[in-house]
């Protein structure tokens, strides 16, 4: 494929030669005008010989003699001119088609000659190489990968990582192109792999975090069981058994949350039932009453008087709202209040969960919805959190065409807001 693309580039170069042919053929139009004058200066035989030579150069094998008519020669020249013009038009059309096709590609494509000089850049390549903060660095990386390919007479690859307001990762791949006998040049493919790199990092962190989350309670269970096997004191046995129960619950909770997250991610289009948010939020609050009571935290619910309904999976929505309320309770101090509000705003329903807890540092807000990410590692593990709750919430909200946002200040508290589109029974599209 790349050979064909580069071959088209060679055809673009040949266009110049074809234009020269047209120029030669077009010159014979002038001959028509000057032929009368020419007859007055040279003999007909000499003129025919020279015209014969020119037609031969255009691929017409004509054996002219004194009896040949000048119109025959001129007809041949006109045909040759038309053919040359058609050839130029075809090559130009192919070149335009190739350029527009390459401009449609999401990857950056550069075509270089055999010395490495750039002959063509598509739109994506121009965009990737034109960021004001990265232009010089990217240009140097491009020059380096081309030189590597020329020096090694083979494919060369390089990855460039630039840190600014957001991390940018660009991959460069230079591929030599030939026709089996000689080099035709090089094709350089550029790709913005920032999102791919981010996903790879998240997958690596996920595996590491899962291993750590399961290894800690399993190691504790092993040590506790070993100690329990040799213990004879009933009070110590009871304490060890209670500790084993806690660690087993912790491991089970992590596995349950992983299974919930996997299921919710797979259900990108959840079942479509009419769900009352008034009842769903109330149910989520009741599930956390005992936890709030144990921490002496007051749970308040300001409910919208009218019924607010959405289309979706009630089980998923209860899971998401319960997770946010549970987090608000866990990270609040004793004697404080967790406020839950259900509000209508135009054609949307808003669920707000506000606490007066420890808050979240501003630098951490973008990452709190990542799997296993914890702002306070020690406190989260002490409270029994798995680090998967907010990730589950985010996926539930996305599955229901909603969005979630958070406002927080350290030492003051946090407010999470979920926005769901309301169900309209008159909307047939739903």
**pLDDT tens-digit readout, 269-298:** 666 789 899 999 999 999 898 889 988 999
Mean pLDDT by 10 residues, the chain (430 residues): 50 45 47 46 59 62 52 67 67 72 84 88 85 72 89 87 74 88 88 79 68 73 82 84 80 72 64 86 90 89 87 87 90 89 92 88 76 56 60 85 89 91 71
Could you tell me if 305 and 407 lie in one domain? yes
Query: Which among 147, 95, 97 has a CA at the least distance from the CA of 117?
Result: 147
pLDDT of residue 354: 92
Could you tell me if 97 and 116 lie in one domain? no
pLDDT of residue 205: 67
Compute how many other C-beta atoms are within 10 angstroms of the C-beta atom of residue 405.
10
Could you tell me if 68 and 186 lie in one domain? no
Q: What angle do CA 38, 39, 43 make, to 5 degrees?
A: 110
pLDDT of residue 182: 83
The residue written with tokens 């949350």 in the block is 257
Query: What is the residue range of 261's domain?
Result: 196-266
Can you list the alpha helix ranges (DSSP code H) found in 105-193? 123-128, 135-152
CATH of the domain at 302: 3.30.565.10
pLDDT of residue 12: 47
Among the candidates 244, 266, 288, a domain finishes at 266
Per the structure, the count of domains in the chain is 4
Tokens of 234: 């009933």
CATH of the domain at 154: 3.30.450.20
Could you tell me if 289 and 228 lie in one domain? no
Could you tell me if 226 and 368 lie in one domain? no
Q: First CA to last CA across the chain, in angstroms?
A: 45
Could you tell me if 52 and 127 lie in one domain? no
Among the candidates 82, 103, 124, a domain finishes at 103
Could you tell me if 20 and 73 lie in one domain? yes
Could you tell me if 429 and 281 lie in one domain? yes
Could you tell me if 98 and 127 lie in one domain? no
Helix (H) / strand (E) containing 318 = helix 314-330
Could you tell me if 98 and 111 lie in one domain? no
CATH of the domain at 251: 1.10.287.130
Among the candidates 74, 103, 132, a domain finishes at 103
Could you tell me if 262 and 340 lie in one domain? no
Could you tell me if 428 and 294 lie in one domain? yes
The residue written with tokens 């144990």 in the block is 294
CA distance linking residue 398 with residue 391, whole number of Å: 11
């Amino acid at each position: 494929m790349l050979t064909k693309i580069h071959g088209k580039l060679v055809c673009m170069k040949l266009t110049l030669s074809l234009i020269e042919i047209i120029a030669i053929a077009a010159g014979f139009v002038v001959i028509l005008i000057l032929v009368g004058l020419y007859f007055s200066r040279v003999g007909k035989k000499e003129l025919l010989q020279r015209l014969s030579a020119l037609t031969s150069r255009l691929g017409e094998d004509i054996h002219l003699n004194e009896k040949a008519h000048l119109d025959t020669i001129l007809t041949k020249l006109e045909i040759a001119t038309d053919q040359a013009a058609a050839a130029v038009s075809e090559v130009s059309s192919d070149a335009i088609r190739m350029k527009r096709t390459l401009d449609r590609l999401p990857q950056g494509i550069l075509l270089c000659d055999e010395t490495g000089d750039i002959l063509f850049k598509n739109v994506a390549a121009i965009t990737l190489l034109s960021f004001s903060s990265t232009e010089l660095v990217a240009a140097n990386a491009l020059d380096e990968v081309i030189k590597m390919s020329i020096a090694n007479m083979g494919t060369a690859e390089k990855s460039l990582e630039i840190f600014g307001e957001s991390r940018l990762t660009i991959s460069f791949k230079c591929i030599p192109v030939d026709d089996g006998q000689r080099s035709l040049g090089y094709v350089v493919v550029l790709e913005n792999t920032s999102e791919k790199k981010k996903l790879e990092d998240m997958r690596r962190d996920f595996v590491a975090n899962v291993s750590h989350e399961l290894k800690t309670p399993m190691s504790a269970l092993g040590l506790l069981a070993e100690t329990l096997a040799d213990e004879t004191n009933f009070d110590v046995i009871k304490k060890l058994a209670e500790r084993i129960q806690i660690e087993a619950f912790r491991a089970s909770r992590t596995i349950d949350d992983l299974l919930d997250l996997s299921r919710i991610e797979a259900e990108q289009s959840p079942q479509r039932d009419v769900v009352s948010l008034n009842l769903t939020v109330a149910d989520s609050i009741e599930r956390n009453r005992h936890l709030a009571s144990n921490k002496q935290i007051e749970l308040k619910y300001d409910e919208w008087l009218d019924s607010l309904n959405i289309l979706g999976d009630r089980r998923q929505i209860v899971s998401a709202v319960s997770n946010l309320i549970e987090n608000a309770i866990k990270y609040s101090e004793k004697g404080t209040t967790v406020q839950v509000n259900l509000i209508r705003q135009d054609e949307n329903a808003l669920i707000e969960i506000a606490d007066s807890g420890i808050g979240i540092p501003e630098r951490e807000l973008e990452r709190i919805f990542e799997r296993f990410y914890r702002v306070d590692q020690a406190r989260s593990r002490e409270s029994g959190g798995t680090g998967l709750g907010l990730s589950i919430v985010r996926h539930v909200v996305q599955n229901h065409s909603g969005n979630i946002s958070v406002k927080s200040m350290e030492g003051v508290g946090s407010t999470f807001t979920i926005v769901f589109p309301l169900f309209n029974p008159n909307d047939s599209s739903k």
